[in-house]
Amino acid sequence: MTEAPMRRLRYAEGPTTEVSRVIAASPADLWEHVTDINLSAKFSTEFQGAEWLDGATEPALGARFRGSNEHPAVGSWQVECTIVEYEPERAVGWAVQDPDDPAARWRFTLEAVDGGTRVTQWCQLGPGRSGLTPAIKRLPEREHDIIERRLGEHAANMERNLDGLAGLVEAR
């Protein structure tokens, strides 16, 4: 049997990654945590924290926040994000930079299942300009590798986030 050729990742196509875990808690018990814009700062090696903008104090469609990040290869930076998906006790998602042409999109979804709630954290890179854009322009032949590495970093941090979230709610 012949293996199918591996599909090459292209930034313009919006490559994604996601991590899921069943946590022994209800969607209602998890909702306050996944809608806390600083949840990931407690566990991520990159995301340092966020603050609401424009007088917002909680997530709602159109609400904006500024997130601070740090990465050993590129240093520190901030991005402005907009809540673009909001379904109480089901999903919250945000676009990084321009909601119409985002640098990335992030989302938490909650689904009640036997034993608790399946929590999924998802991320899509691009298609808008991001910190990866200069690297891909400089090394277009390495685009797949650059994207694969970045998605791997995000997946590792998402695993940390879900492990940390489970620890917060299952310890109660």
Asked, for residue 123, whether it belongs to a domain, the answer is yes
Asked, for residue 90, whether it belongs to a domain, the answer is yes
Asked, for residue 3, whether it belongs to a domain, the answer is no
pLDDT in tens, the chain (172 residues): 556 556 788 888 999 999 999 999 999 999 999 999 999 999 999 999 999 999 999 999 999 999 999 999 888 999 999 999 999 999 999 999 999 999 999 999 999 999 999 999 999 999 998 888 888 889 888 888 989 999 999 999 999 999 999 999 977 6
Tell me if 158 sits within 8 A of 46, measured CB to CB.
no
Parallel/antiparallel/unpaired status of strands 116-125 and 75-87? unpaired
**How many domains does the chain fold into?**
1
Show the domain range for 90. 11-170
Residues 5, 24: Cα–Cα separation, whole Å: 39
At 103 the pLDDT is 95
Q: pTM for this structure?
A: 0.92
At 62 the pLDDT is 97
Residues 4, 131: Cα–Cα separation, whole Å: 31
CATH code of the domain covering residue 159: 3.30.530.20
At 140 the pLDDT is 85
